[in-house]
Every structure is written in C-alpha cells, then in structure tokens.
Amino acid sequence: MAGETSMIRVAIIGTGRMGQIYAAAVSKHQDATIGAIVSRNKDNASALCHQFGGIPFDDVRSAVSSGNLDAVIICSPTRYHSEHIEVCCDLAIPVLCEKPVDISVDKVRTAEKHINRSGIPFMVGFNRRFDPQISELKAHINRGVLGKLRMLLLTSRDPSPPPLDYLKLSGGYFCDSTIHDIDLSCWITGEKPISVTAVGSSFGSKEIADIGDKDTAMTILKMPSGILVHINNSRECAYGFDQRIEAFGDKGMVQTTNQTETELISSNANSYCRSSILKHFFLERYQQSFVIQVDNFIQSLNNNAPTPTTIKDGLDALLIAQACQKSSEVNRWVSLKYD
C-alpha cells in the first residue's frame, strides 16, 4: 500500500457503544469504508450495517475470512479480545483493538506472540493520546517549554459508575479506568514507572464494595528520571466528566482544561462565569480523539508505517495497573520490571 492511498475495508467486531463510535468514525473517513459488522446477535449487526453500511455477521472467523476486508477494529467485550486477535493473526488481517487487550497478563503475552509471529500491524486503542489538548500538552513538554519535567498530575472522574454486571468482569478499577491515565503518563513522560503506590476507597454503591472494587483511587508513579506522577480517579462526580492534566517543570507549567457543552460566558454585576455544564462523559469529551485515532490507524496501513501504539503499550499498561492493584491491597510501594 506504500506510496498510494487505498480504500481500507474495515470490519467492526462488537455493536455496543464502542462499536457504534468506531463504526461512525470509519464511515466518515475518506480512505475507509465499513466492510462488515460482527455481533453474536446478528440483528444488532444488521441494524448497525443499515446505519453505516457493510455486511452483517454473527461469527468473527466467517467475517474475517470473507475476503472482503483489509482491517479489523475489535471492540467486543474484553474477555473475547484475545480470541478475536488470534483469528485476525491466523488470517493476516491488521487490527485496532480497544483497551485493555485483556485483563490477564498471560493472555496478552500470548496475543503478543501471535502478533509478532504473524507480523500484522496491531494498534491498541488508547484514544486519549489523540485528544488535541493532550497532544498539545505533550508537544509543549517535547519542545522544552517547561524545562525539565518534575511532576505530572492527572484528574479523571466519571459522572457515574457503569453497571454492576460490567464491573464484575472489568478487572477492577485500576485495570479498567486508571489504565487510561497510566498509558498517558508513560506516553507524556516517555518513561515507564519503576515503582507505584496506590490506595482506593468505596464511598458510593455498597454493591461495588461487595464485589471488592473501588469507586475512588489515588495513584503515584515514580519514573526512572525521578519524575513523579499523581493520578486521582473517581467513578462518581456530581458536576460531570472531570478531565484535567497538569505538567510542572523547572521553567513553568501547562494544563489542559475541562470542556463544557458551550463556550458561553455569563457576565453581570455580580458574577463572571461559564454558563454551561461540563461535557457529560467520554463519548462527548473525547469524540474527536476517536476520529483522529482511526485516521492514524488507516494512514499507517496506507503508508505501510508503524502504528502509533503497539501490543507492548497494552502489556506495559496492564502490568502497571496490576501493580497498582497489588499496592492498594498490600498497602506499600510495588516495584516493576518489564520484559
């Protein structure tokens, strides 16, 4: 494909909210089209095909082996990711896989072996790397605007918890949610932590505590250079989806800000303030990042270029997330080693 632009035919595996997001992004891309949509419930696949195009399937292998595809986006439930990756490797089809690749380190390592053996392009869906605000923050750091980076602080608070059935299979707060901030921390700093410490609490639903999960967490990552990263998370936030990052160096500081539904500012004799609430959740706040992420995937295929994220990024983020989980259980710092 190098040197020329081809129309990439993409299969979407999964018809939940992530499948819908990716189907919309692919359908709007000038160099891509929906070739197939796969769901165990074929009616769901048919409904999404009616909206975005493509052929509905209820079996992944049948779809991927149909001869009508150039790439696959995996956004099925996490427990099926490794199985679907193996099918794509068997049939030499490039993959963009939603995070996490799996909540089992062994399964991710097995997937890594399949990917390396097959040689397929493989990208992990850490979409927040592609958010324009966050990309600009990293660019400031890379240009030396802040001097030597000393601290990175990330706030990520959801408006409300996901359903309990989802939480039971999510792998816990650190593997499900904090993992986004962990990946951003490694990407922004260009380093992986040598040790972590984390604590968590359950303030909200008793059901969340009963399954051994948390709804509030604080994490500190120590990088090899000495950079300290602080991550604070909550599954419940009364004022909306709170997403902020601050980078602090010896020559200055840069921040990303929350995004609101409108940019209106209200002024009168008594106040001067924004007159809009925060964007509700990740679908609204990070919509553009998914579009840019898909564009990066498509362009990497058309240009025969490396994907911006790899299976190694997914594995490292999971190892760090599990170390955070362990730290919260044993109440001490946990050291990390990487393959």
Residues 6+ away with beta carbon under 8 Å from 140 = 146, 247, 254
Cβ-Cβ contacts under 8 Å for 19 (sequence gap 6 or more):
12, 13, 37, 39, 48, 75, 76
Mean pLDDT score across all residues of the chain: 93
* Domain segments of the chain as ranges: 8-120, 131-288+317-335
pLDDT higher at 314 or 287: 314
Q: If you search the block for the tokens 């150039």, which residue do you land on?
A: 70
Q: How far apart are CA 128 and CA 138, in angstroms?
A: 12
How large is the average pLDDT for residues 94-116?
Answer: 97
Predicted confidence (pLDDT) at residue 18 exceeds the cutoff of 50: yes
CATH architecture of the region 131-288+317-335: 2-Layer Sandwich (3.30)
Phi, psi values for residue 331, rounded to 5°: 60, 50
Residue 276 clears pLDDT 80, i.e. is over it: no
End-to-end CA distance of the chain: 32
Question: In the structure, what pLDDT confidence band is assigned to residue 2 with cuts at 50, 70 and 90?
Answer: very low
- Determine contact, residues 67/97, Cβ cutoff 8 Å: no
CA dist 283 to 1, 175, 181, 290, Å? Answer: 32, 20, 17, 9
Q: Band of the pLDDT at 200, cuts 50, 70, 90?
A: very high
What is the model's pLDDT at position 315?
Answer: 98
pLDDT band at 205 (very low <50, low <70, confident <90, very high): confident
User: Model's pTM, two decimal places?
Assistant: 0.91
**Which residue's structure tokens are 């165990």?**
40
Which residue, among 239, 253, 261, 35, has the nearest Cα to 141 in the 3D structure? Answer: 253
What superfamily does domain 8-120 belong to in CATH?
NAD(P)-binding Rossmann-like Domain (3.40.50.720)
Over pLDDT 90: what percentage of the chain?
Answer: 81
Q: How far apart, in whole angstroms, are the C-alpha atoms of residue 25 and residue 124?
A: 16
Predicted pLDDT at 274: 66
Over 50: is that where the pLDDT of 1 sits? no
pLDDT at 281 over 70: yes
